[in-house]
Structure 1
């Protein structure tokens, strides 16, 4: 038989098949929860798509902020580092395949092998997604590719794969701020770096959000400020989830004494 201890570990007895069944049911439940959250996220994101004029006007405000901070270098970066079709293809692939596929694989791995880290990552992702939807609805922003900045939408020009992973019917084109492409990849990277035992896997976790930050800028899908905002949002949610979990643990300890 299999017994779950108070620390969340499974104590194995003679019933190995029972352990496998219990784990598969748990994983299936989590997949159901995440798929439901993703459907809600994309559905609401589509419904909250702002007007084109407001999104372009807000994009101009973002550009003005970047200029004031000395961060408005998106066009120069694309012209300098993504002018080659081969180079732009690499960043297109990072933008397309380095997001949802990586998130799915990472969450499944965490749910099976590192459940405490999985729950923290899942909750931070859901929390930041909910906050992001509010921002998308109240502050629509056109990305650089749609803000009349003479930047090339390299993903759309060079690849149709992104529309398979994220159909247009569920896409809010004016949800540039914050960049959850960067933010959620950062969450996955943090989780991988903490949970992994092998150094090379930890290095991948560190490099993932860096590569995605470069990709979202060079493909003209986000501003530099977007990436910073996305990283700040998800990092804040990561620590907020841990703070809330500790408060709950303390309340339970008090209640049982």
Structure 2
């Protein structure tokens, strides 16, 4: 059951990231960077903690990282933050946020090391989400131009609005040069 519980978040994370990549690339970039930062911090901690106690065997670093209390909850929290960033309606956003908070609280209360579970289940994912947002705002890497999914209220019409027969803009009255 432990192996199944360790692998269970991967399809959820992969499905969420694929959905975000298709629907909202800007939120996808933030979620992917936040997940990468959170995992990197966890791997560094798991590597240093394993070397303090016992010599780590090859291939055990990932197992030690996933065995940290609250890590998988942190993955779920990051995916919930990405979903909240994509949802426009208020009630579903509240429902997803409350569900994520309940999940983190339940995970922290059930695990034996409450402080460590709170750090890896809430603090590290939230900090990595914040840092990924700061990196994205500073444009340290080129992101694609926002598409119609990012700002639907600013959509440009495909045809110009028809003008009355007597009304013409100043641009239309300017004579054009003859080509050739």
TM-score range relative to shorter protein = 0.5 to 0.7
Name the structure 2 match of 1:74. none
The count of aligned residue pairs is 129
TM-score, structure 1 as length reference? 0.42
Name the structure 1 match of 2:103. 211
| Distance 1:104-1:217 versus aligned 2 partners, 3 A rule | farther
Name the structure 2 match of 1:228. 118
How far off its partner does 1:197 sit?
Answer: 3.1
Higher helix share: 1
| Distance 1:169-1:176 versus aligned 2 partners, 3 A rule | closer
Q: In structure 1, the residue corresponding to 2:138 is in which secondary structure?
A: helix
How far off its partner does 1:201 sit?
Answer: 5.8
TM-score, structure 2 as length reference? 0.57
Q: 1:1-257 maps to which residues of 2 (within 5 A)?
A: 99-140=9-50, 171-172=63-64, 175-176=67-68, 179-198=70-89, 199-200=91-92, 202-215=94-107, 217-218=109-110, 220=111, 223-230=113-120, 231-248=122-139
How far off its partner does 1:137 sit?
Answer: 1.2
Give unpaired runs (5+ residues) of structure 1.
1-88, 141-167, 252-257
| Cα separation, 2, equivalents of 1:111 and 1:174 | 25
Report if the CA contact (8 A) 2:38-2:125 is conserved.
yes
| Cα separation, 1, equivalents of 2:61 and 2:131 | 32
Q: Which structure's CA Rg is the greater one?
A: 2
Report if the CA contact (8 A) 2:66-2:72 is conserved.
no
Q: In structure 2, the residue corresponding to 1:235 is in which secondary structure?
A: helix
How far off its partner does 1:107 sit?
Answer: 1.1
- What's the RMSD between the two structures over aligned residues? 3.5
